[in-house]
Amino acid sequence: MIVFCLVGTFNFHCLSETKLQTRCPPAWLAFEDHCYLYVREAKTFNEAETHCMSLSKPRRSAHLVSVENQQENNFMIDCIQAIGTGDFWIGFTDQQSEDLYTWTDGTSSQFTNWDTNQPNNAERNQHCAYIKSNGKWNNKECSSLKSYMCKKNGFKISCLTL
């Protein structure tokens, strides 16, 4: 019996796995259908988003991470604990329109996990969100320097038995 895995136009050998798995490039972590890259180097929000976008591939655009539900937020916390890191940018911002937060990757999820009394827009100058080590979100000046998490679609492999 010969088993091939097909990934787009690429062929990979695999053993007997037949279920779909999310595959990610080296250094990216897989969760559900997406891949995540933590970048420790601190950047401003917009610099971080620009860097994430530079990691895009055809049909797999990359942006600062969007957090669409509690499970994904829990995954963020797992990452924080595994990496031993502190705050990092997520792709949630109201730079375009005050108090109208949107995800840089276009996600339309209504899920939020703001910390108590956030987003407070302190000094009327806080338009970019980061996630804290407890998993709660806060907004802060976009010019602040923080580590960040990028996210893009993973690719699925499927195996055909010939």
- Determine, following the binding rule CB under 5 A, whether residue 112 of this chain makes contact with Ca ion: no
- Residue whose CB is less far from Ca ion, 18 or 97: 97
Report the alpha-carbon distance of residue 80 to residue 100 in Å, rounded: 27
- Residue whose CB is less far from Ca ion, 66 or 126: 126
Report the alpha-carbon distance of residue 113 to residue 116 in Å, rounded: 9
- Determine, following the binding rule CB under 5 A, whether residue 69 of this chain makes contact with Ca ion: no
- Determine, following the binding rule CB under 5 A, whether residue 66 of this chain makes contact with Ca ion: no
Contact of 118 with 128, CB cutoff 8 Å: no
Among 70, 120, 141, 145, binds Ca ion (CB under 5 A): 120
Report the alpha-carbon distance of residue 126 to residue 143 in Å, rounded: 9
- Determine, following the binding rule CB under 5 A, whether residue 113 of this chain makes contact with Ca ion: no
Q: What angle do CA 59, 65, 71 make, to 5 degrees?
A: 105
Q: Which residues bind Ca ion (CB under 5 A)?
A: 94, 120-121, 126-127, 138-139
